Chain A
Amino acid sequence: MSEKKKKMALIVHSGTMDKLIPVFILASTAPAMDLEAHLFFTFWGLNALKKGGLENAKLPGWMGLDTDMIKKRMENIKAPTLQKLLQMCVESGNVKLYACSTTMELMNIKKEELIPEVDSILGAASFLDIALDADFSLFI
């Protein structure tokens, strides 16, 4: 495969389960579609990259109370969990996860608190460079 793969660039700004599920469904499907996925986690999104972050992601606001119900329903329809989707992304080798450096400082998150699947810690310029080279970008 010497041909250059098409790329998708995602800014993951949200840390709630309802947004993280589509993020990880798109990212885990990308390699099957011969696409590279580059995910830049910023602000609330960065919580998803903290150890235990995906497990603890909840529905937004007062709907948070229904999180367990949604998890149960996902299990019933055999939908993969966020952790399973992450694992599929990593195994593919074509999904890269980046942590926003400013968010880390702002929220006082140390590198050791992030899951080992994180590819690197980046600033805005690096992400823009990746996005410039991508075929499409999304903000979720």
Chain B
Amino acid sequence: MEDYPIDIIIDAKGLSCPMPIVKTNKIIKQMKNGEILKVLSTDPGSKRDFESWAKKTGNTLLEISESDDIFTYIIRKGGELDE
């Protein structure tokens, strides 16, 4: 596990689909490219959802981890850091 400098944390624990994705998308729109967002979710479908969402919206899913049924997603706004 790398230590990423987290700019914003979203606690979406206990929220069911589609709230984790919709909330994340809303927040990330207000962030700057390169900033890092951490999202916590207990939605069992969220892993695949976040992978699809990141791919579709051009954000980078840096890390996914799971412990005690809590998924943690580390997302960097935007694509690879070469812009």
> A residues engaging B (CB < 8 A)?
25, 28-29, 31-34, 77-80, 88
Contact = CB atoms under 8 A, between A and B. Distances in A.
B74 interface: no
A-B pairs with lowest CB-CB distance, top 6: A32-B25, A29-B18, A79-B16, A77-B16, A33-B56, A32-B21
B19 A80 contact: yes
Contacts of A80: 19
Given A78-B19, A88-B22, A33 B52 contact: yes
Contact of B56 (A25, A28, A34): A34
B17 interface: yes
Contacts of B16: 77-79
B53 interface: yes
A79 B42 CA distance: 13
Contacts, number: 33
A79 B56 CA distance: 24
Interface on chain B toward A: helix, strand, loop, or mixed SS? helix
Report the interface size class on chain B.
10 to 19
Interface on chain A toward B: helix, strand, loop, or mixed SS? helix
B18 A78 contact: no
A32 B24 CA distance: 9
B33 interface: no
Contact of B14 (A31, A33, A34, A78): A78
Nearest to B19: A80
